[in-house]
Amino acid sequence: ELSMNDFLAELKAGGIAEMVLLKAETSPEDLNSFSVMDEDVLEGFTKQRATRLDSEILKNPEDPVYPLVKNY
């Protein structure tokens, strides 16, 4: 396990050849909670997810993934 700074240093130095990004699966409980959620709240979650999945990361330097995406 590495800190973000150590990870970035190792990645830039070529010490990391491969990495795996794990994505959590949606549980049935999560699906059920979304089905009864207020439409405005659900829309907010949907927009937030879409933002993380497209090039919006490159437009937001405050995003924790921004340095990785910008450099690579």
Residue ranges per domain, the chain? 25-72
Residue for token pair 């933002």: 51
> Are 34 and 44 a contacting pair, CB within 8 Å?
no
Question: Model pTM?
Answer: 0.29
Question: What pLDDT is stored for residue 48 in this prediction?
Answer: 73
Q: What is the pLDDT of residue 39?
A: 73
Q: Render the burial of 52-61: b for 16+ CB within 10 Å, e for the rest.
A: eeeeebeeee
Upper half-sphere CA count for residue 67 (Cβ side, 13 Å)? 8
Report the C-alpha gap between 11 and 16 in whole angstroms. Answer: 5
Residues of the chain with pLDDT under 50: none
Task: Give me the pLDDT at residue 55, please.
Answer: 67
Q: Are 4 and 13 in contact (CB under 8 A)?
A: no
For residue 45, what pLDDT is reported?
A: 76
Residue 4, pLDDT score: 87
